[in-house]
Chain A
Amino acid sequence: MKKLTFRIGGIHPADSKISASCQIETLPLPEKMYVSMAQHLGAPATPIVAVGDKVKAGQVIAEPSGFISAYVHSPASGTVTAIAPRADIAGNMMTHVEITVEGDEWMEGIDLSNTLVTEIPSDKAFILDRIKMNGVVGLGGATFPTHVKLAPPPGKKAECVILNGAECEPYLTSDTRIMIERSSEIVVGAAIISVALDGCPVVIGIEENKPEAIQAMTQAVETLRKTVPACACIKVETLKKKYPQGGEKQLIDAVMRRQVKSGALPIDAGAVVQNVATALAVYEAVQKNKPLVTNVLTVTGECQKEQHNYLFRIGMPLSFVAQQAGGVPEQAAKIISGGPMMGKAIANLEAATVKGSSSLLYLTEEQTKRPAATACIRCGRCVDACPMGLEPNLLFKLAKAGEMEQLEANSVHDCIECGCCLYGCPAGVPLLDLIRPAKGDVIRIIRSRK
């Protein structure tokens, strides 16, 4: 079968999926959980509970505070013991609702059984409402509220839904595991998304280094196609292993052979991209009325004794997750939330898990320490690697000199911060480090002009 891929740039880091064969385990509940109000892109949610309130798992504890915002639900049953600022993984303060866990009682109306519900509601508004009320956000990294993404602005029509199962970041295996273990649910979730977008066809793109996942998903689609009519428009495509295959624009290019124009949104190219984990969350929200309070994360790294894929609840302190996995390994020099290419280094292990948490990755000093920067030898590797076709070496120089006009002329605002340039630089020039803030500046300048 032909393998799809994007056409510009890309790199091939070792995929290091050492936890790919570890089954998903369910974590026990800690004594206290800290639910952040900023678990999604956009305005932080506003708490609607008060200290001393009794809450049940799945109960709404915060409401969206803007158009782009999301509901937050209690991950466990217990008492609200504090609503106070608490440091996130970067040390920045954000309001957290502290819940002291008592038992595990869920709200009524939530179906906690494992039975597959294949009858898909036909009412679009009902689907979107369920997704919104259950606080579903994109779980591919950006945590953009899903109900907003599934309601294209008037005049724009989705021609293809792409379900992102690329998981192109090295080490991460949470998507791989759910595609293997919960393939049918993901396929039904995909069908729901398709229905919400007027029966738009769905392509599930999976990188070739996950044959088990490809097989499981293909089989699930084949089986469900016979009984569920909405699944007829779903197909699975194999993608080449190349980073950043899972980048939204790259994935659209790979699957649809279309390049989203600079400054435009995927919907302008007729595409809606959703992560497979989001499809699972959509399934649970619509079919089971279960809010997004659980997700799967990978605890991995060569220095970690046992690899794990955990079903966690939002609000668990990362230190608790680490403890459950046997503690932070001695040699770990850096702990990353997310993949090694785009994930965030954790400065504060007391921070709590959020909806978008995908991993706890331990890297040793040898693996992660930045090489000392030497002179650029103009080898052009960064230019070849950039999936957006930019010239990172030039942008770096311009950013250093603060040449805003030239930066804009050289499309710095198209940068997707994938890290390909810095990964492959033989001179260890910290290209992205300076391009990132320059991109922010230029985007601000462009916005201020409008």
Chain B
Amino acid sequence: MQKLLVSPSPHIHTDVTTRRLMLDVVIALLPATLVSIVFYGWSELLVLAVSILSCVGLEWVITKYLLKRDCTIGDMSAVVTGLLLALNLPSITPWWVVFIGAVVAIGVAKLSFGGLGQNLFNPAIVARVFLLISFPAIMTTWPEINAAEAWRGFDAETGATLLGEGVDVTKITIGDALFSAGSAGEISVLALLLGFVYLLVRRVIKPWITLSIWGTVLVFAGILYLVDPSVYMSPVVALLSGGIMLGSIFMATDYVTSPMTTRGGIIFGVGIGLLTIIIRCWGSYPEGVSFAILLMNACVPLINKFCPSKKFGRA
């Protein structure tokens, strides 16, 4: 007989690990990724490859040579960040811009805070917002959706996005919103919803944050629409267009940067929904999901403090 193991209870452990959770997020993002590759072609593949490889590579280099501690690329979180970053960029983004994004995401937003679990802001969103402010032209030029053209080469004709400058938002139909040009991951709402269902089935996330964002957007945009339908877009279009789907399903639900309790999560989601519509309608940027999530990320410690879990026997 071997030497007996002795440890405090419990003696069994779930087989759900950080790596498996991250892998599930990657799988959930696959439909959206595939759609983006099909419609944006080579250029999108390049963005994806640069983003993922540089995120993982940077995490490896920084943890090993700069921080001199155990390398953490095994937990797959850098892959998720890279994938999300790529899906948040237009497919024609030059590779060096993508690389800068990766440096900001992994180097600044993640590892300078202490790595996975310590970062206050979602790394992919920090990178996206950084790029949006630094390279506004590149970040708001989206190619036309054209599967046939996309595979000819790296140049693509630029097309209009739904929420671009000078677009009459009241003319957008639900059909447009379900399938439209934009950042790579935002093309197909259905692909994103498929990912959402997968995450729920695998119990990777709970639906409350996402649903509360949707609800708030619907209600708030609905009120505005009732007030003046000639200026504001219909609530359903507001929900389906732009980055709300990608943001609410994959970015706002990031474990590290969202509240711990369900109650906190609902407050967090309502805040994101409100801020998104406020920025869209009255801000200087056409889209506000990233800013909304970042602002609410900053509120998470406060939300955690004021929304503790419901304790047993302390009603």
Residues of A within 8 A of B (CB): 8, 13, 170, 249, 253, 259-262, 264, 328, 330, 332-336, 340-347, 363, 365, 367-371, 374-381, 383-384, 386-391, 393, 410-411, 414, 417, 419, 422-428, 432-433, 436
Quick check: B308 and A391 within 8 Å, CB to CB?
yes
B112 lies within 8 A of chain A by Cβ: no
A180 CA / B255 CA spacing, docked (Å): 46
Complex partner residue of A328 from B1, B9, B18, B261, CB under 8 angstroms: B1
A422 CA / B12 CA spacing, docked (Å): 9
A332 CA / B3 CA spacing, docked (Å): 10
Inter-chain pairs besides A386-B309, A427-B117, 9 sampled, C-beta below 8 Å: A333-B2, A333-B4, A342-B9, A345-B8, A377-B116, A378-B256, A424-B16, A426-B16, A428-B13
B308 contact set on A, CB distance < 8 A: 391, 410
A419 contact set on B, CB distance < 8 A: 9-10
User: Interface on chain A toward B: helix, strand, loop, or mixed SS?
Assistant: loop
B310 contact set on A, CB distance < 8 A: 8, 389
A318 CA / B262 CA spacing, docked (Å): 46
Q: How many residues of B contact A (CB 8 A)?
A: 38
B2 contact set on A, CB distance < 8 A: 333
B118 lies within 8 A of chain A by Cβ: yes
Q: Which 10 A-B pairs have the closest CB atoms?
A: A419-B10, A375-B117, A379-B255, A389-B311, A334-B5, A259-B313, A345-B6, A388-B312, A340-B11, A340-B12
Quick check: B12 and A170 within 8 Å, CB to CB?
yes
Q: Mark B74-105, 1 if CB is under 8 A from A, else 0.
A: 01010000000000000000000000000000
Which residue of the partner chain A has the closest CB to B75?
Answer: A374
A389 and B9 in contact (CB under 8 A), knowing A378-B255, A380-B255? no
Quick check: B309 and A389 within 8 Å, CB to CB?
yes
A8 contact set on B, CB distance < 8 A: 310, 312
Quick check: B116 and A390 within 8 Å, CB to CB?
no
Quick check: A330 and B1 within 8 Å, CB to CB?
yes
B17 lies within 8 A of chain A by Cβ: yes
A262 contact set on B, CB distance < 8 A: 311-314
A449 CA / B175 CA spacing, docked (Å): 68
Quick check: A334 and B9 within 8 Å, CB to CB?
no
Q: Shortest Cβ distance from B124 into chain A, in angstroms?
A: 15
A259 contact set on B, CB distance < 8 A: 312-313, 315
Quick check: A423 and B12 within 8 Å, CB to CB?
yes
Residues B1-34 near A (CB distance < 8 A): 1-2, 4-14, 16-18, 20-21
B286 lies within 8 A of chain A by Cβ: no
Which residue of the partner chain B has the closest CB to A419?
Answer: B10
Complex partner residue of B12 from A249, A367, A379, A386, CB under 8 angstroms: A367
Complex partner residue of B309 from A343, A370, A383, CB under 8 angstroms: A383
Quick check: A424 and B6 within 8 Å, CB to CB?
no
A332 contact set on B, CB distance < 8 A: 1, 4
Quick check: B14 and A346 within 8 Å, CB to CB?
no
A411 and B314 in contact (CB under 8 A), knowing A380-B260, A383-B260, A391-B260? yes
A386 contact set on B, CB distance < 8 A: 309
A369 CA / B10 CA spacing, docked (Å): 11
B161 contact set on A, CB distance < 8 A: none
Q: Shortest Cβ distance from B208 into chain A, in angstroms?
A: 11
Complex partner residue of A422 from B13, B20, B312, CB under 8 angstroms: B13
Quick check: A343 and B11 within 8 Å, CB to CB?
yes
Residues B289-315 near A (CB distance < 8 A): 308-315
A340 CA / B14 CA spacing, docked (Å): 12
Residues of B within 8 A of A (CB): 1-2, 4-14, 16-18, 20-21, 72, 75, 77, 115-118, 206, 255-256, 260-261, 308-315
Which residue of the partner chain A has the closest CB to B17?
Answer: A426
Which residue of the partner chain B has the closest CB to A243?
Answer: B10
A249 contact set on B, CB distance < 8 A: 312-313
Quick check: B5 and A346 within 8 Å, CB to CB?
no
Q: Shortest Cβ distance from A397 into chain B, in angstroms?
A: 11
Which residue of the partner chain B has the closest CB to A380?
Answer: B260
Which residue of the partner chain A has the closest CB to B119?
Answer: A378
Quick check: B4 and A390 within 8 Å, CB to CB?
no
Residue from B14, B20, B115 with most neighbouring chain A CB atoms (10 Å): B14
Q: Shortest Cβ distance from A349 into chain B, in angstroms?
A: 8
A136 CA / B188 CA spacing, docked (Å): 67
Q: Shortest Cβ distance from A378 into chain B, in angstroms?
A: 5
A371 contact set on B, CB distance < 8 A: 13, 17
Q: Shortest Cβ distance from A82 into chain B, in angstroms?
A: 26
A377 contact set on B, CB distance < 8 A: 18, 21, 77, 116-117, 255-256
A346 contact set on B, CB distance < 8 A: 4, 6
Quick check: B18 and A334 within 8 Å, CB to CB?
no
A261 CA / B314 CA spacing, docked (Å): 6
A426 and B20 in contact (CB under 8 A), knowing A377-B255, A390-B311? yes
A391 contact set on B, CB distance < 8 A: 260, 308-309
B72 contact set on A, CB distance < 8 A: 374-375
Complex partner residue of A433 from B8, B11, B115, CB under 8 angstroms: B8
Which residue of the partner chain A has the closest CB to B262?
Answer: A384
Quick check: B260 and A378 within 8 Å, CB to CB?
yes
**Can you show 30 pairs from A to B with CB atoms below 8 A apart?**
A13-B14, A259-B315, A262-B312, A332-B1, A333-B4, A334-B4, A340-B11, A341-B11, A342-B10, A345-B8, A368-B5, A370-B7, A374-B75, A375-B72, A375-B116, A375-B117, A377-B18, A378-B255, A380-B261, A389-B310, A390-B311, A391-B309, A414-B311, A419-B9, A422-B13, A423-B12, A426-B17, A426-B18, A427-B117, A428-B13
